[in-house]
Structure formats: C-alpha cells, structure tokens
Amino acid sequence: MRNVLRTWQDEVKKTFSGKADAPPDWSLKLAEGDDAGYHLPGSAVWAVHGSMTPIVGGIRTLLMQSLHPGALAGVHEHSNFREDPLRRLANTIRWIFTVTYGSTAAAEEATKRVRRLHEPVHGSYRDNDGGERPYSANDPGLANWVHIAFTDGFLAAHKIWGGPIPGGADAYVREWSQAGRLMGVEKPPLTEAEMRGQLDHWYREGTLRADSRVKETVEFIRNAPLHPLLKPGYRILFAAAVYSLEPQYRQMLGLSVPRLGPFPLPVRLATKAVLGVVHLALGGLHRRMGPSETAARQRLRRLGEPSADLV
C-alpha cells in the first residue's frame, strides 16, 4: 500500500511539473530578476493561481476553447496533443506561473517563446456559413478567444471551489488582462461583465461550433491518457469542469452534469475532496506554497518589496 501511495504521489507531481523528485528548474529561476513583475502577493491573480482550482479551470478551458473552429483547427493540425498531452500541459503551466510569479523580463521572454511556437500554426477552416476562413494562432482575434476562455474558466472554477479573491472577480479579469496583452490581444476585457458579454457575442453570432472534431476532442479530454492511479480522481475533476460550464455550452459539447442513480452526484463536495488530496500530494502538509511562489517571494525580498511577506 505504501508503494502504491508513493507511485500515486509521484505521478501527480510528474503530471503537473514533469518531475517527481524535485521542482522544475524553471520554477526555481523565478527567484531571479530585477523587478517585482506584473503581479504581487495579495493580488487577485496570486489568489486564484496559487490555489488548486486552476486544475478544474484548466479542464473547463480546454472544453470551451474547442468550440471555436479556428482554435480547434490549430490544435488538431499543428499539435502533438494526442501523443504527448502532458508535455503540452507542463508547457502551459510554465507560461502561466512565469507570468504570474516571474519578473517582467521572465514573463515577456516566456511569452515570446510561446508566440514563436505559434508562428507556424496557421491554415484555414470552414465556418458555419460554409465559407473558408484563415486562422493563425498569433491572430489577435483568435488570441482573444483563447484568453477569454482561459480567464472565464479559471475564474468560474475558483468562484465555486476557491477562497476569497482580493478585489473580487473584476480584479482578477483586470489583472490577468495583462497576460492577454502579452499574447497580442488588443483590447482584453477588464471586468467580468465585459468578459461575459464577449462570450455571449461569440455564442449569439454563431462563430462557435460543435461537430465531430469537437466530439473527438471532448472524448480525449474526458479520457485523458493518465496513469491508472490518477484516473478515478480525474473523472471527478472532469465532472467538476462540466458542472462549472454554463448550460448552453454544456449542451453544445454534448455533456451533462453526471448523476448517480436518481440523485445528482455531489460534484462540488467530491471535487473539494479531490483538490485537497492533490494539494497534499504536491506537498501541502509540509509547504504553505508551491516552488514558483516561494521563488517569487525570494526575489521580492531581495528587491525590498514590502508585499513579499503578505499571506
């Protein structure tokens, strides 16, 4: 049993950081840099990204992003997500945490790296009216969809399973808009209402689509190729992502909130428990914060930043 628990813990760590025995090298380098970065302790971004809720938010984000045929074409035609989904996950986590906790130079360099990877991602797709439309991963309009799906997903999950957000939901949307601008979004939303308005606009105007490619993507996300020991917990986290979606998007994706017999599965409670267990697996019993946040606070203390010791 002890070996099983150790294997499970190692697989959790490898899934989120790529390593079982040590923090990833890039997270330790967040202690380097000559300024405080875009976000500080006590910010809405630190509150949301420093919790466990982004695990659910990330799954929800992937589901939402799949509804835009341009975004989905880029993934299917230029990505090895089927062969190596965990590497893609690790790269995304690296960018999120570097923008969240790193210096401005680190955040900008990490973003340039992502945008360079996006340069060859272009092509065309057929829209809902039968016309041929070009797409590019670095196109500001498509980047805006990706950014909003991300922001909405992380915010929605945290509102259900997370703690208080300093300044509220609007503060998170406003603060994380900086990440959108780094990725080329020209006018990212600055309030939750503005973000929801843009999402509703895409839905009403018929840009989004649910087709066989979306169905295939949803099934891949539902049955992610994880270690068998992680699959029971992941099933609950997937159910949580579905639970957090608005009904119209659940319907488009062909999903429904799971039920257990005649009674609804207690998704909220089960998810809270799974997130707590993952937190423990990542060192929660012994560390109050993860390696990225720890490294960021080291940099802030070195720079004499007063907020470095804020909880």
User: By C-alpha distance, which of 117, 96, 112 is closest to 54?
Assistant: 96
Residue recorded with tokens 């760590």? 13
- The whole-number pLDDT of residue 126 equals 84
So what's the pLDDT on residue 264? 57
Helices (H), the chain: 2-17, 25-28, 44-49, 54-65, 69-78, 85-101, 104-118, 140-161, 168-182, 192-205, 212-222, 231-244, 247-253, 267-281, 291-302
Return all residues near 133 (Cβ < 8 A) that are at least 6 apart: 70, 124, 125, 126, 127
Q: What is the pLDDT of residue 280?
A: 81
Strand partners, 123: 135
Read off the pLDDT of residues 15-58 as tens digits, 9 standing for 90 and up.
Answer: 776 666 667 889 999 999 999 999 999 999 999 999 999 999 99
Name the phi and psi angles at 83, rounded to 5. Answer: -80, -35
What local confidence, expressed as pLDDT, does residue 309 receive? 87
Whole-angstrom Cα distance, residue 22 to residue 25?
Answer: 8
- Regions of the chain with pLDDT less than 50: 285-286
Q: State pTM to two decimals.
A: 0.92
Closest CA to 238 of 210, 206, 270: 270
Q: What per-residue confidence (pLDDT) applies to 310?
A: 84
Which pLDDT value is given to residue 304?
97
What integer pLDDT is reported at residue 190 of this predicted model? 98
CA atoms within 13 A on the CB side of 248: 9
Q: List the domain boundaries for the chain.
A: 2-297
Q: Which residues, listed in sequence order, are joined to residue 126 by a DSSP beta bridge? A: 132
Residue 285: per-residue pLDDT: 44
